[in-house]
């Protein structure tokens, strides 16, 4: 039974093309959650407003869209900050047999355990400390990955001119330690994109290929297509 008082903060719901990661180019329905637990220097999603919904109300909004999409992407912000609300929405959606796709910064491992049964695909970030200019989250990423491997998962890491080789070595160690050959997306920082950064990303791709058989360099394609 859903508590009547349970509500979530959602900034927008829209249909568009996935512009990042392994599913670049796929049509998705995006549900953007408000609020994040990080403040990465390269963040391009500054959310200033939201609407409050009950799980049933948000499900109603989602149901009004034409079902011409591959999956529903729960993005943010960080959706797992609202894990109770997210779980109840996911339950309603899974009744319709729709694929669910979670975009997450890969830190809130305890929260993931509470929604993992209702998620089909996990797009997980590795937050490299020398890219985002924040503290290290390697232990959190390790624990998150231990749960995420129960479902289809790929990892994305944003590479900047400031990124250190040691961060890439840690990425290799975590993926190798997961026991699965997890696809890895190197995403060059859009704000620094140029020949120097691309050469750096290619060098990391060569290094990572010894651990990860599927490692790709994919920029933020939606920026070039000028889509939402």
pLDDT band per the 50, 70, 90 thresholds, residue 40: low
Strand order across the 27-33 sheet: 51-53, 8-17, 27-33, 71-75, 100-104, 121-125, 152-159, 184-188, 215-217
DSSP state, 117? G
What are the tens digits of pLDDT across the range 46-80? 677 899 999 999 999 999 999 999 999 999 889 99
The mean pLDDT of 9-29, rounded to a whole number, is 96
What are the tens digits of pLDDT across the range 90-99? 999 999 999 9
CA distance 130 to 161: 9
Q: What's the pLDDT at 35?
A: 85
* Phi, psi at 123, each rounded to 5°: -100, 100
Q: Do residues 34 and 40 lie in contact, with contact meaning Cβ atoms separated by under 8 Å? A: no
DSSP symbols for 170-182: HHHHHHHHTTS--
Sequence ranges of the domains in the chain: 8-225
CATH 2.40.50.140 applies to domain 8-225: no
* Phi, psi at 126, each rounded to 5°: -100, 115
CA distance 86 to 74: 9
What are the tens digits of pLDDT across the range 140-155? 999 999 999 999 999 9
Q: Is the predicted pLDDT of residue 133 greater than 80, yes or no?
A: no
What are the tens digits of pLDDT across the range 160-216? 999 999 999 999 999 999 999 999 999 999 889 899 999 999 999 999 998 899 999
pTM of the model: 0.93
Cβ-based neighbours of 166, under 8 Å, separated by 6 or more: 130
Q: How far is CA 208 from CA 17, 24, 161, 175, in A?
A: 28, 21, 18, 10
For residue 39, give both structure tokens. 């403040």
- Residue 32: which of 56, 4, 53 has the closest Cα? 53
């Amino acid at each position: 039974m859903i508590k009547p008082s349970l509500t979530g903060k959602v900034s927008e719901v829209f249909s568009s093309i996935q512009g990042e990661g392994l599913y670049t180019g796929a049509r998705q329905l995006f549900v953007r959650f408000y609020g994040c637990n990080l403040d990465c220097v390269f963040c391009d999603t500054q959310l200033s407003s939201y609407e409050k919904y009950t799980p049933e109300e948000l499900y109603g909004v989602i149901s009004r869209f034409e079902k011409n999409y591959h999956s529903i992407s729960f993005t943010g912000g960080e959706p797992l900050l609202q894990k109770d609300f997210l779980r109840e929405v996911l339950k309603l959606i899974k009744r319709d047999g729709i694929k669910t796709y979670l975009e997450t910064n890969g830190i809130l491992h305890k929260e993931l355990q509470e929604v993992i049964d209702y998620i089909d695909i996990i797009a997980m970030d590795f937050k490299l400390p020398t890219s985002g200019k924040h503290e290290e989250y390697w232990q959190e990423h390790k624990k998150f990955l231990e749960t995420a491997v129960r479902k289809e998962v790929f990892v994305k890491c944003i590479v900047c001119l400031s990124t250190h080789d040691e961060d890439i070595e840690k990425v290799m160690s975590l993926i190798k330690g997961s026991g699965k050959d997890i696809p890895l997306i190197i995403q060059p920082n859009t704000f620094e994109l140029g020949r120097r950064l691309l050469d750096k990303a290619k060098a990391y791709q060569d290094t990572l290929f010894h651990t990860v058989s599927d490692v790709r360099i994919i920029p933020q394609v939606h920026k070039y297509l000028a889509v939402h």
